[in-house]
Amino acid sequence: MNESTFPGTEHVMGHLQDRHSAPEPAQPISTPPSSPPRPVTPPRGLPDNYAEMPKPTAKLTAEDLAPVNDPNGPRHKIGPTGRPQPDLPVPQPPTKTGPAQVIAMCNQKGGVGKTTTTINLGAAIAETGRKVLLIDFDPQGSASIGLGVQPHDLELSVYNLLMQRDITPDEVIQPTRVENLDLMPANIDLSAAEVQLVQEVAREYTLQRVLDPIIPLYDVILIDCAPSLGLLTVNALTASNGIVVPLECEFFALRGLAMLTDTIAKVQDRLNPKLEIVGILGTMFDGRTTHAREVLDRVVQAFDERVFHTVIRRTVKFPETTVVGEPITTYAPSSQAATQYRDLAKEVLARCPAG
């Protein structure tokens, strides 16, 4: 077919033909003396001014010999949040049980790692010898499923405790396969509580009333909140001393955070003055992308010391643990993911001293 049959394409075809039929004259190989010298590109990974940097000497200086993990040392390791990584004390086994610190995992955004953090932080704290209770406070029952409990098979759940005064916590709480780790499971019934609680007197204090008698029996109680800022979440915040906010390290992570901090401020003001943000946790961090590091930088700019030094990296191990119904600390005890949750446990325990 002849190209010229397509009207409007003549100039393109003409150009292509020109390129083929009339090649440009060859360029001279040597650069003309007037052109500026080509900048030297530093080898990959080195700073632009590497040429002016002092050359390494064979003798080691005091700085070279300083321990890498000394927080005051000059070569102290910079962590994924861009700040020096402190050495966290290894939690010692407790000498007595309770009263429990109650900590809510809260972010009204779904899929940010609330449930994963509740299960794995809980299991990592239980490993230190502390008695831990996980409260599934999401009608989807993901924390229950993640610990191998089928929500639709439950006869009694946290819903019954909230709505029926004659049910006691020991009728609902179940042990898990992990030592020192108990579960107060939930299922879809809980979604009805959100509506039914509206009629109750002191409706925001309902969960606190349920938890009061079991506070002396545990060292740490973690509440897995639903992805909303409704009455259930307000109940969780009213019953807690602390909040951990998991944030997925992605572009929209900070969106909606103002609404969350506003809700926290209102609960502190009107319902629970002892509520504090224990920390902001970066989750699903992918250190290979500059994007994830930028997001984390912005979170540190906004929340400074409240951001945990520990960051949870993205790994397929977490979806796998849901399938097997156990925490990462028992499913893959020596994995990086298990280590990260143990580090988080150290940070949380250091920030919330017992008692």
Residues that bind ligand ADP (CB under 6 A): 110-116, 142, 227, 283-284, 312, 314-315, 318-319, 322
Closer residue to ligand ADP in complex, CB, 124/284: 284
CA distances from 235 to 31, 161, 209, 230 (A): 75, 13, 10, 9
Closest residue to Mg ion: CB criterion: 115
Closer residue to Mg ion in complex, CB, 114/342: 114
Q: Does 321 bind Mg ion (CB under 5 A)?
A: no
Stretch that binds Mg ion, among 7-15, 115-123, 242-250, 270-278 (CB under 5 A): 115-123
DSSP assignment string, 178-230: STTEEEE---TTHHHHHHHGGGSTTGGGHHHHHHGGGGGG-SEEEEEE-SS-S
Q: Does 108 bind Mg ion (CB under 5 A)?
A: no
Q: Which of 352, 204, 349 is nearest to 269 (CA)?
A: 204
- Report what 339 binds from ligand ADP, Mg ion, none; CB cut-off 5-8 Å by kind: none
Closer residue to ligand ADP in complex, CB, 181/214: 181
Closer residue to ligand ADP in complex, CB, 168/315: 315
Looking only at residues 126 through 155 of this chain, which bind Mg ion when binding is defined by CB under 5 A?
142
Closer residue to Mg ion in complex, CB, 268/322: 322
Number of other CB atoms surrounding residue 341 within 10 Å: 24
Q: Does 342 bind Mg ion (CB under 5 A)?
A: no
Which residue type, as a one-letter code, is found at position 296? L
CA distances from 218 to 118, 129, 180, 299, 330 (A): 15, 11, 9, 32, 21
- Report what 283 binds from ligand ADP, Mg ion, none; CB cut-off 5-8 Å by kind: ligand ADP
CA distances from 276 to 64, 280, 351 (A): 40, 12, 11
Residues that bind Mg ion (CB under 5 A): 114-115, 142
